[in-house]
Amino acid sequence: MSQQIDHLMNEDRRFPPSEEFAANAVASPDLYKAASADRLGFWADQARSLLTWHTPFSEVLDWSNPPFAKWFADGELNVAYNCLDRHVEEGNGDRVAFHFEGEPGDTRTITYAELTEEVKRAANALSELGIGRGDRVAVYLPMIPEAVVSLLAVARLGAIHSVVFGGFSADSLRSRIDDAGAKLVITADGGYRKGRASALKPAVDQALSDRGDGVQATVENVLVVRRTGQDVDWSDERDLWWHDVVPQASADHTAEAFPAENPLFILYTSGTTGRPKGILHTSGGYLAQAAFTHRNVFDLHPESDVYWCTADIGWITGHSYAVYGPLANGATQVLYEGTPEHPEPGRWWDIIEKYGVTIFYTAPTAVRGFMKQGRQIPQKRDLSSIRLLGSVGEPINPEAWMWFREVIGGGKTPIVDTWWQTETGAIMISALPGITTAKPGSAQVPLPGIAIEVVDEKGEAVGNDAGGLLVATEPWPSMLRGIWGDPDRFVETYWRMFQDKGFYFAGDGARRDEDGDIWLLGRVDDVMNVSGHRLSTAEIESALVAHEATAEAAVVGASDETTGQAVVAFVILKESFLREHTPEGLAQALRAWVGEQIGPIARPRDVYIVGELPKTRSGKIMRRLLRDVAEGREVGDTTTLADTAVMSTISSQVK
Ligand code: WT7
């Protein structure tokens, strides 16, 4: 970490907003003034001006039972109405909500009026299937318009969606279905990825199959979108085609008002222990902060902008910045199904040129990937429509930041580096374009109304030019309301560390520079960040030891030029397997195994077969030392190891 800090301290490039940008900016410095004068009043104003309430709220925050917050609790609204109907009622029905582009090149243009109608039909179809307030619906879909329609139809009914990323395996899907007790799964036959139809329905069938453990899946129906036309297995009593029930359903549907604290969705994310956590978000506070941040951080002018967030709907970024924030603001978006490389590496730039994208939000791992391919590829396209760039998921190194601005942003656009988490629901730290002077590599300042500190282990603010732990010192509207079904784990994971201060601990290390700007330094726990997605070492270790050849396994995140961090596994094999197989063959088999168990994103970059693992006298694996090996460094202090010789054995085995 010290090396990284030294590097940061050398960063003295500054990019103030242009006069032209500042003159037309959505955000104004008054936001900071208003929020610091009266934080709760500020959020009440945002919630009132950005959302339409069926029943106005009188109370802003109820923090009488921390850490269980209630925001705008006596207010009532319908989230889908706020994202759809009201725009149509205000005369914006003809505005494009989505320019959809499928990977094979098929396109659909969907206006707000059309999207509203489709969501009303889908809501009626879902009620026919018995879905109502509080029911859980699992969504396992590619990035197609039906994914957005599904989320909004569930929200419209006051039900709760749980999106499972299409890249996750049948096992991951089943554990999420079970944990949430989902009644319905919405999926597709498949989607297009890398030029091929990639099946989804078989994973749902496998997930719901009888596993001989006597545990019956809670799912009653599976609603299947036809996307690729590939053959699917079918259960007549369980499965229904989307095209058989949604278009036939009535397009009349009145949005019922639900309390602001009605749950909106569960989204699973990795933690330090093996089991993913179902992060719970509710309606009014979540939508208010998603809308506020989307409008101000991305400088959204809904009448003229074309906004594109490249995140998949399976992650929180897809929820807050490809569905709820932009739709609440009446934005026009691009929705793209596939990968950036198909049919060739310039696909994303072609899409930007074709639709005239003005605001582009993506991840550092993608930027670094494009840097590798060379600037010639984007430079062949006309990207002059772009006027703002955004980054999320991990720290963006100054080099990637500069490339992003120069090559994609024409050397002129502001870049907002947005720090937040699945748990925070919406952006917490970011520059405001038109106001903040940008610093490459720093997320910079907490947003108006957000109270963030960098503290030492006792919870004392470290001050400028010092590092520590990142905390939120006050509740915020889009904060998680809990972990589904596990209130104790919620308290334990996020609030125990600074219990007496009442701070939320995010799990990230951070530093304030001499100006007080915040630099994120990565996770301080055993959680990795691979391509901007959180993976837990424990989860991958438990997949590895579930393989019959494995005796013991330890996983670390090692720095990687493209993905930020990469999964590196150290595995002790059972003697019997070593006799019959080569270590190389087994390493390959284990990589594939993890891909099947969790999903391709968790597949280790390297699997090292070793004879022993470094442990303390109390038996704790010292991952710090394994990280040194994985990153090719000299191994650090080994004095607390039970057997100090073990690291030299491992190092030589890895070589
Ligand atoms: C973790 C949250 C929020 C959407 C994507 C990831 C890291 C996120 C930044 C940033 C440095 C960042 C943190 C955080 N992170 N954004 N701008 N700079 N680090 O959501 O899977 O919940 O992961 O991603 O480590 O804790 P997530």
Answer whether residue 521 is part of any domain: no
In angstroms, rounded to a whole number, what is the distance separating the alpha carbons of residues 292 and 391? 18
**Pair 140, 265 in one domain:** yes
Answer whether residue 555 is part of any domain: yes
Rounded to whole angstroms, the maximal C-alpha distance in the chain is: 74
3-state class percentages of the chain: helix first, strand second, coil last, to nearest 5: 35, 25, 45
CA distances from 525 to 194, 400, 598 (A): 34, 25, 20
Answer whether residue 522 is part of any domain: no
For residue 507, report the distance from its CA to the centre of ligand 1, in Å: 10
In angstroms, rounded to a whole number, what is the distance separating the alpha carbons of residues 604 and 556? 10
**Pair 429, 536 in one domain:** no
Choose which residue among 389, 417, 419, 483 to substitute to test ligand 1 binding: the one with the highest number of ligand atoms within 8 A of its C-beta: 419
Contact present, 401 and 440 (Cβ < 8 Å): yes
**Pair 451, 550 in one domain:** no
For residue 115, report the distance from its CA to the centre of ligand 1, in Å: 30
pLDDT at 2: 41
Of residues 508, 602, 628, 549, the one with CA closest to residue 274: 602
**Pair 493, 572 in one domain:** no
Of ligand 1's listed atoms, the one at least distance from the Cα of 420 is: 3
407-456 tens-digit pLDDT: 999 999 999 999 999 999 999 999 999 999 999 999 999 999 999 999 99
Checking 59-62 for CB contacts under 8 A at 24+ apart, the result is 61/475
Peptide bond into 67 cis (omega under 30): yes
Q: Is 420 in the pocket of ligand 1 (CB under 6 A)?
A: yes
552 Cβ contact partners less than 8 Å away, ≥ 6 residues apart: 545, 571, 572, 613
Answer whether residue 514 is part of any domain: no
pLDDT at 485: 96
For residue 538, report the distance from its CA to the centre of ligand 1, in Å: 19
CATH number assigned to the domain comprising residue 594: 3.30.300.30
Domain carrying residue 118: 19-508
**Pair 272, 357 in one domain:** yes
Answer whether residue 519 is part of any domain: no
**Pair 170, 297 in one domain:** yes
**Pair 497, 563 in one domain:** no
Residue that terminates a domain, selected from 466, 481, 508: 508
Residue that terminates a domain, selected from 508, 542, 559: 508
Domains in the chain: how many in total? 2
Q: Is 438 in the pocket of ligand 1 (CB under 6 A)?
A: no
**Pair 504, 555 in one domain:** no
Answer whether residue 10 is part of any domain: no
DSSP string of 168-218? S-HHHHHHHHHHHT-SEEEEESEEEETTEEEE-HHHHHHHHS--SSSPPP-
pLDDT at 34: 98
Contact present, 322 and 376 (Cβ < 8 Å): no
CATH number assigned to the domain comprising residue 316: 3.40.50.12780
Residue that terminates a domain, selected from 459, 476, 508: 508
For residue 282, report the distance from its CA to the centre of ligand 1, in Å: 20
Q: Tokens 């897809």 map to which residue?
A: 318
In angstroms, rounded to a whole number, what is the distance separating the alpha carbons of residues 283 and 17? 34
Q: Which helix (H) or strand (E) holds 467?
A: strand 466-472
**Pair 167, 247 in one domain:** yes
Give the closest residue (by CA) to ligand 1 atom 27: 421
In angstroms, rounded to a whole number, what is the distance separating the alpha carbons of residues 324 and 347? 26
Q: What single DSSP character describes residue 446? A: B
Give the closest residue (by CA) to ligand 1 atom 19: 394
For residue 482, report the distance from its CA to the centre of ligand 1, in Å: 19
This prediction has a pTM of 0.93
262-298 tens-digit pLDDT: 999 999 998 777 688 999 999 999 999 999 999 999 9
Of ligand 1's listed atoms, the one at least distance from the Cα of 527 is: 25
**Pair 222, 343 in one domain:** yes
**Pair 130, 73 in one domain:** yes
Below-70 pLDDT ranges, the chain:
1-10, 274
**Pair 502, 561 in one domain:** no
pLDDT at 86: 98
649 Cβ contact partners less than 8 Å away, ≥ 6 residues apart: 610, 611, 612
Give the closest residue (by CA) to ligand 1 atom 5: 393
